[in-house]
């Protein structure tokens, strides 16, 4: 069981689950509550959506390790599971079972949305994760971009399904429906952009950390192609873009709403726990090329992502406290 949990990256899977629950319970629920409308997407539909997303992601981690046996034998030989604790044949079987159950959950969630085409999101994720693990991760940038995009889609799935449910449940959109759906979707889009940028940054950092094994196995990652020093600048630029994205979201959207106009706690949270650590990571990235530094940055960025998603708690508290219409 321990090897299985490590193989599917249970901590990352848990973050996916918590992210989706945060979007529903800490963004959609409070926004809809203050505007006096009901959440329309059924609970069973949401939980099958969440489970399907988790299973597809878990299968993606397994197939990634399956194709990375030779690279991991150089980069992290002591942490290898596939080819050591688990035969490659069993790993591919596990990947297929996880993906099949994930697709089944995706189909069930599609039934709840009344839009069959949504199942192609799960099928596409399954196919793209296979292509990424086999081929795309060996190319510069495109593999990083794909993983970042898939990370960004996770929050968006929750908002999209609720939008469809509201659209199917009412015949006339009054001002409360329009404002509630608009605000919930705009906030969820911010979380999607946030997840995209920080996932992209972390993927590039991980490539720096794994440069030795990538070089030996012909992987043309960004640091292999342009060198670690230039990649350090790329990481810093993405960090700077992330800082500006968060500031833009606050000053040009949240702070302009009546819920946040006179609140200081949210910007303090974002500034102290998200913006400052991100800026520090961007500065640290510019100096040194040791594996230890990249390991630290990878862990730090992961924690910033978790703390950033936890901003939904502050958002929920602020909305409910200032929600008198």
Q: Where are the domains of the chain?
A: 2-321
Q: Which segment, 65-74, 128-137, 200-209, is predicted with the most confidence on average?
A: 200-209
pLDDT higher than threshold 80 for residue 56? yes
pLDDT at 139: 79
More confident residue, 71 or 319: 319
Token code pair at residue 83: 């080819």
pLDDT higher than threshold 70 for residue 310? yes
pLDDT at 324: 64
pLDDT at 74: 61
pLDDT at 210: 84
Interacting residues of 324 by C-beta distance below 8 A, sequence separation 6+? 34
pLDDT at 281: 96
Which 3 state secondary structure label does DSSP give 114?
A: coil
Q: Count CB-CB contacts under 10 A for residue 182.
A: 12
Centroid of chain to Cα 154: 6
pLDDT higher than threshold 70 for residue 58? yes
Helices 142-169, 10-22: inter-axial angle, 10-degree rounding: 30
More confident residue, 308 or 88: 308
- Under DSSP, the state recorded for 161 is H
* Each residue's pLDDT tens digit, 138-154: 777 888 999 999 999 99
| Integer CA distances (angstroms), 4 to 35, 61, 134, 254, in order | 44, 11, 21, 42
Q: Which of 65-79, 210-224, 232-246, 269-283 has the lowest mean pLDDT?
A: 65-79
Confidence of residue 170 (pLDDT cuts 50, 70, 90): confident
pLDDT higher than threshold 90 for residue 87? no
Q: Which of 20-29, 129-138, 175-184 has the lowest mean pLDDT?
A: 129-138
Contact 161, 46 (CB under 8 A): yes
pTM score: 0.93
237's enclosing H/E stretch is helix 228-252
**What span, in angstroms and rounded, lies between the C-alpha atoms of 18 and 154?**
11
- Mean pLDDT over 244-263 rounds to 91
pLDDT at 72: 58
């Amino acid at each position: 069981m321990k090897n299985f949990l490590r193989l599917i990256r249970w901590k990352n899977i848990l973050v996916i689950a918590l992210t989706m629950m945060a979007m529903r319970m800490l963004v959609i629920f409070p926004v809809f509550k203050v505007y006096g409308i009901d959440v329309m997407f059924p609970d069973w539909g949401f939980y099958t959506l969440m489970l399907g997303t988790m299973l597809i992601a878990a299968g993606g981690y397994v197939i990634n390790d399956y194709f990375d046996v030779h690279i991991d034998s150089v980069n992290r030989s002591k942490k290898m599971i596939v080819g050591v604790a688990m035969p490659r044949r069993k790993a591919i079987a596990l990947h297929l079972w996880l993906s099949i159950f994930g697709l089944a959950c995706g189909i069930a969630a599609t039934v709840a949305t009344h839009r069959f085409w949504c199942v192609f999101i799960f099928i596409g994720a399954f196919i793209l994760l296979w292509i990424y693990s086999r081929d795309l991760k060996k190319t510069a940038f495109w593999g990083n971009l794909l993983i970042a995009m898939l990370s960004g889609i996770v929050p968006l799935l929750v908002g999209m399904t609720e939008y469809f449910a509201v659209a199917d449940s009412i015949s006339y959109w009054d001002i409360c429906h329009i404002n509630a759906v608009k605000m919930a979707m705009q906030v969820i889009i911010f979380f999607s952009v946030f997840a995209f940028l920080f996932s992209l940054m972390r993927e590039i950092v991980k490539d720096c950390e794994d440069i030795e094994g990538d070089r030996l196995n012909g992987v043309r990652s960004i640091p292999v192609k342009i060198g670690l020093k230039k990649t350090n600048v790329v990481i810093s630029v993405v960090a700077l873009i992330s800082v500006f994205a968060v500031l833009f979201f606050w000053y040009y959207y949240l702070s302009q709403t009546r819920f946040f106009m006179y609140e200081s706690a949210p910007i303090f949270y974002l500034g102290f726990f998200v913006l400052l650590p991100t800026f520090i990571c961007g500065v640290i990235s510019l100096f040194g090329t040791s594996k230890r530094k990249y390991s630290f940055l990878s862990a730090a960025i992961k924690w910033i992502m978790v703390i950033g998603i936890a901003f939904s708690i502050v958002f929920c508290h602020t909305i409910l406290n200032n929600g008198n219409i």
